[in-house]
């Protein structure tokens, strides 16, 4: 069964569905079809609003990713290996942000779904094209989060 024919059970948990989809991408994150990415990030943005995730919590990661994007843009060879360690190091930063927002063992907090999706996505970023799709993912989540009523503070 090809990726396009697989059905994902989104139910109430879009982050789990996105992680499952990302984990099936054999050639990297660039395989995530742009139309599916847009649909999925819209659902995730709405879910993050429901969980009361603040826009500034997402923007911190976009700022970090934009710094990496800038470094890559300045590199004449567009050598992804120059930013790969810093991209991978975003995972512990996500873990820290999620742990700070965790209320108790039964409530993982508002950052947890965002963390799960981004961690899975980071693991699939192996090339500049994968990184470009990763940037699109974060930008789309932020846009849909804001459109769904996400608050800044």
Give the model confidence (pLDDT) of 47-61 as tens digits. Answer: 999 988 888 888 888
In a domain, 22, yes or no: yes
In a domain, 152, yes or no: no
Task: Please measure the distance between the N-terminal and C-terminal CA atoms of the chain and give it in whole angstroms.
Answer: 44
Rounded to the nearest 10°, the torsion over CA 58, 64, 70, 76 is -130
Range of the domain at 112: 3-147
| pLDDT reported for residue 110 | 86
Per-residue pLDDT reduced to its tens digit, 45-96: 999 999 888 888 888 889 999 999 999 999 999 999 999 999 999 999 999 8
In a domain, 103, yes or no: yes
In a domain, 15, yes or no: yes
pTM tops 0.95:
no
CA 16 to each of CA 53, 73, 114, 117, 141: distance values in angstroms, whole numbers, following the listed order: 17, 32, 10, 8, 15
Handedness of CA 81, 86, 87, 88 (dihedral sign): positive
In a domain, 124, yes or no: yes
| pLDDT reported for residue 7 | 44
**How far, in Å, CA of 153 to CA of 145, rounded?**
13
In a domain, 53, yes or no: yes
In a domain, 81, yes or no: yes
In a domain, 153, yes or no: no
Tally the domains of the chain. 1
């Amino acid at each position: 069964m090809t990726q396009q024919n697989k059905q994902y059970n989104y139910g109430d948990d879009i982050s789990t569905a996105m992680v499952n989809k990302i984990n099936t991408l054999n050639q990297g994150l660039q395989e995530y079809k742009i139309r599916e990415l847009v649909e999925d990030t819209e659902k995730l943005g709405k879910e993050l609003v429901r969980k009361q995730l603040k826009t500034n919590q997402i923007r911190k990661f976009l700022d970090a990713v934009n710094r990496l994007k800038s470094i890559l843009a300045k590199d004449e060879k567009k050598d992804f290996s120059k930013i790969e360690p810093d991209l991978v190091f975003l995972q512990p930063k996500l873990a820290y942000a999620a742990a700070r927002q965790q209320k108790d063992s039964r409530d993982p907090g508002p950052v947890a779904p965002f963390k799960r999706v981004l961690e899975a996505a980071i693991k699939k970023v192996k090339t500049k094209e994968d990184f470009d799709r990763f940037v699109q993912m974060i930008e789309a989540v932020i846009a849909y989060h804001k459109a769904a009523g996400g608050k800044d503070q």
